[in-house]
Structure 1
Amino acid sequence: MPDLSTPARPRTAPLTGGPSAAELFSFVRRTAADTPLVASLPLDPEGRTWLRLDGPDGSEAWLIGWPPGTGTGWHDHGGSRGAFAAAAGALTEDSLTVQLPTEGWTSLELTDGVDRTHTLTDGRGRAFGPHHVHQVRNVSPATHAISVHAYHPPLPLMRRYRRTGALLRLEEVERPEDWG
């Protein structure tokens, strides 16, 4: 198994063109502060809801509603850089502090100390590069959360992982046509 105590080198060329992660972060924070837009999102008590937004410079953007107790599971963004911010309620992000390769593996054993957890509220958020693996959850038992997300380039795919202790396994690769 690869040594994950130091960041892996990217297997793909660096992303060029389009908005930077910092520009995406600025966009999601501004959009999260747009109270009428956030209030316009229909909320479902059972499942996540979403609204496609016009992101900056060809990026993909979404306003997403999270019922209590819902989450994404572990995933990456197919090599896209991105950002997200809480617009209402609170979200918890669990992420890894090491840069994982985006391709060429199906199972990795993670070393101690690579996990980070962030609680995001009130316009707080995160920007990330193309090798970011995380899960996002609404841990509240009673309150919806709403967030804004942006990615560049628009998501070519998402890889879904299963995490069992220190073991991270690739479970599925989803493509935009799978998202209906």
Structure 2
Amino acid sequence: MSSASPAPASPLPASGPQPAPGAAGPDRGPTTTAPAAAPSEAELLDFVRATAADEQLVASLPLDPDGRTWLRLNGPGGSEAWIIGWPPGTGTGWHDHGGSRGAFATARGELTEDSLAARIPTEGWKTLELADGVDRERRLSAGSGRAFGPHHVHQVLNESDGTHAVSVHAYYPPLPLMRRYSRTGALLRLEQVERPGEWE
């Protein structure tokens, strides 16, 4: 998200289990609530789909014809979430999510996801030769979404000539870093490691 122009944050209330108030009685002490479990990929996908269907929230995102914009949201179970606007012809470039799992859903327009159907080692290399047949392409129109695991490498693009797209994304744990890659044919090269604050 480093090429985008940030918009003012507009947090939503966190969804998911809320702690119950402690109760005391003559036969027991205060009750305690265990911490909420980490959200699964399916729960992240449910969240991004439901949020993408919130027309009022989607309409609150300022759109810029020249660059991506975003609002940070509170995701389920302490996850990090974003709503992102994509002008025509914009994209992320190849990247991963630093070991976090995640999900995203398109709210408006259509996005294309190019991904690698292979578990990419995250450390110990600068250039990696990809095997044949690892490339996957998905087109996600409004209402469509997908979840992914912690070793996912992809790029997301708005290939439209004239339509702005909007999407919702969630990651758990919150992104510790993002690795950015360049690609030439079968060669994937690590170009940069970004830390939180460098893409916000």
Q: Normalization by structure 1: what TM-score?
A: 0.89
Give the match for residue 85 of structure 1: 105
Matched, 1:74 2:86: no
From 161, 171, 175, the equivalent of 2:191 is: 171
Unaligned runs of 5+ in 1: 1-16
How far apart are 1:141 and its partner, in Å? 0.7
The percentage of aligned residue pairs carrying the same residue is 76
SS class of match (2:38): coil
Q: Distance in 2 between matches of 1:162 and 1:107?
A: 9
**Aligned residue identity for 1:24:** L
Matched, 1:105 2:125: yes
Cα deviation, 1:76-101, whole Å, max 9, x if unaligned, reads 00000000000000000000000111
Q: How many pairs does the alignment contain?
A: 164
Matched, 1:64 2:84: yes
Cα deviation, 1:93-150, whole Å, max 9, x if unaligned, reads 0000001112222111001110000000121111000000000000001000000000
From 108, 128, 140, the equivalent of 2:148 is: 128
How far apart are 1:177 and its partner, in Å? 2.6
Q: Distance in 1 between matches of 2:195 and 2:93?
A: 16
SS class of match (2:139): strand
**Aligned residue identity for 1:75:** H
Cα deviation, 1:45-96, whole Å, max 9, x if unaligned, reads 0000000111001000000000000000000000000000000000000000
Q: Distance in 1 between matches of 2:157 and 2:106?
A: 11
Kindly report the root-mean-square deviation, in angstroms, between the aligned alpha carbons of the 2 structures.
Answer: 0.8
**Aligned residue identity for 2:55:** T
Which one scores higher on RCO, CA 8 angstroms, separation ≥ 6? 1
Q: Distance in 2 between matches of 1:26 and 1:152?
A: 14
